[in-house]
Amino acid sequence: MPRLFFLFIPALLLSCSRRDSKEAIPQKINSQKLDVKEVVGIANIEPLQRIVQLSPEASGTVVAIRFNLNDHVKKGQLLLQLDDQIERAQVNQAQSKLRTQQAVIQTQQDNLDGLRVSLADAKNKFDRNERQFQGQAVTQQVRDDSRFVYENLTYQVKAAEANLAQQQAKLNELQADLNYFMTVLDKKSLEAPVDGVILSVDVKIGAYIDNKTSIADFAPAGPLMAVTEIDELFANRIAIGQSAYIRPQGDTVHLSTGKVILAAAYLKKKSLFSDNANNLEDRRVREVRVQLDQDQVLIGSRVECVIKIR
């Protein structure tokens, strides 16, 4: 009887331990069951069209800078000028060749016009002599001489027409050369692609740059947006059109209201503000963009973005 009692005690303890361990296992949190009305994410303020790095299309030495920090520029406004002496010389040379060729063509055209007049006159004479020859009013020699003149002028007109066509083709080639040199010349200057604001000046006069060199950060004109990342726990509760607002970190003051205009179609690793090398948490986030109603917030500001999900 005592032996059975001691066997019963371990069995009872094992049963209690298993029941306690099951109760201690945490249940996976379901965000749909949480009574959450707002989701907060750290956001960065950017232009709706994103910040653009301006670069020239050609390489060369900077000879003029036509913009300053914080300048509001218009589309097509000249921003930067590279040394273009060689390109301008090429354009001048091409224009000179084009003018010379145009003069040649004009001479050829005048010559052709004269030959056509002579041909018309020779044809009239030949037709008249042919009729008179049939009436025995002129000799065969006169008729044959007028036919020879007419046929000879016919060949001359055809040759002049072919020569004029050849000179015209050469003119087209020279015009294409001029267009090319003018295009190269145009690339020696940089214009504002759209209306916007200069955020930085990254070039100096005298510097040699190429098409990979960034000369300035440029913010296209238009609304601002807050770019944030929402944790995967609440990612599926974000929808386009939801109301939102931004506030300074750790504060309750509303800087601007807005609406969700984009929610990424996939989850990714954290990218915004993930500069902490010790952050080993394996969490996924959804990128969300909120278009702001006010534009008084500084571009590049780090704020809290609050999205109303209920």
In this prediction, residues 259-287 reach a mean pLDDT of: 77
Q: Kindly list the strands in the beta sheet with 208-209, ordered across the sheet, starting from the edge strand earlier in the chain.
A: 189-191, 78-82, 60-65, 208-209
User: How far is the C-alpha of 23 from the C-alpha of 17, rounded, in Å?
Assistant: 10
- Which of 45, 44, 43, 49 is CA-nearest to residue 196? 49
Three-state SS sequence of the chain: CHHHHHHHHHHHHHHHHHHHHHHHCCCCCCCCCCCCCEEEEEEEEEECCCCEEECCCCCEEEEEECCCCCCEECCCCEEEEECCHHHHHHHHHHHHHHHHHHHHHHHHHHHHHHHHHHHHHHHHHHHHHHHHHHCCCCCHHHHHHHHHHHHHHHHHHHHHHHHHHHHHHHHHHHHHHHHHHHHHHHCCEEECCCCEEECCCCCCCCCEECCCCCCEEEEECCCEEEEEEEECCCHHHCCCCCEEEEECCCCCCCCEEEEEEEECCCCEECCCCCCCCCCCCCCEEEEEEEEECCCCCCCCCEEEEEEECC
pLDDT for 274 beyond 80? no
Report the domain count for the chain.
Answer: 3
Bridge partners (DSSP) of residue 42 are 304
Looking at the fold, whether 236 and 150 belong to one and the same domain comes out as no
pLDDT of residue 260: 96
Q: Based on C-alpha coordinates, what's the Rg of the chain?
A: 42
Looking at the fold, whether 107 and 176 belong to one and the same domain comes out as yes
User: How far is the C-alpha of 22 from the C-alpha of 63, rounded, in Å?
Assistant: 76
For the ranges 31-40, 78-87, 273-282, the maximum mean pLDDT occurs at 78-87
Looking at the fold, whether 90 and 61 belong to one and the same domain comes out as no
Residue at a domain's end among 186, 205, 235: 186
Looking at the fold, whether 229 and 302 belong to one and the same domain comes out as yes
- Would you say the C-alpha torsion 15, 20, 23, 24 has a positive or negative sign? negative
Looking at the fold, whether 66 and 207 belong to one and the same domain comes out as yes
pLDDT band at 3 (very low <50, low <70, confident <90, very high): very low
pLDDT of residue 179: 97
Looking at the fold, whether 234 and 296 belong to one and the same domain comes out as yes
pLDDT of residue 66: 95
Decide if 7 is inside a domain: no
Looking at the fold, whether 61 and 201 belong to one and the same domain comes out as yes
Residue at a domain's end among 186, 207, 239: 186
pLDDT for 136 beyond 90? no
Expressed as residue numbers, the domain containing 133 is 85-186
pLDDT for 220 beyond 50? yes
User: How far is the C-alpha of 286 from the C-alpha of 304, rounded, in Å?
Assistant: 16
Query: Which distant-in-sequence residues (6+ apart) come within 8 Å of 239 by Cβ?
Result: 260, 263
pLDDT for 49 beyond 80? yes
Are the CB atoms for 268 and 285 separated by under 8 Å?
A: yes
pLDDT for 25 beyond 80? no
Q: What's the chain's average pLDDT? A: 87
pLDDT for 108 beyond 50? yes
Decide if 97 is inside a domain: yes
Decide if 13 is inside a domain: no
In this prediction, residues 145-168 reach a mean pLDDT of: 94
pLDDT band at 133 (very low <50, low <70, confident <90, very high): confident
Looking at the fold, whether 166 and 211 belong to one and the same domain comes out as no
Query: Which distant-in-sequence residues (6+ apart) come within 8 Å of 97 by Cβ?
Result: 174, 177
156's tokens:
């001359």
Decide if 12 is inside a domain: no
Bridge partners (DSSP) of residue 290 are 226, 260
Decide if 95 is inside a domain: yes
Decide if 10 is inside a domain: no
pLDDT of residue 11: 47
Looking at the fold, whether 199 and 256 belong to one and the same domain comes out as no
- Which of 73, 57, 71, 51 is CA-nearest to residue 201? 71
User: How far is the C-alpha of 129 from the C-alpha of 136, rounded, in Å?
Assistant: 10
User: How far is the C-alpha of 247 from the C-alpha of 254, rounded, in Å?
Assistant: 5
Q: pTM score, two decimals?
A: 0.70
Q: Out of 19-33, 89-103, 175-189, 285-299, pick the least confident.
A: 19-33
Looking at the fold, whether 146 and 227 belong to one and the same domain comes out as no
Decide if 19 is inside a domain: no
Looking at the fold, whether 240 and 280 belong to one and the same domain comes out as yes
Q: Count other C-beta atoms under 10 Å from residue 260's C-beta.
A: 23
pLDDT of residue 10: 47
CATH of the domain at 44: 2.40.30.170
Looking at the fold, whether 242 and 292 belong to one and the same domain comes out as yes
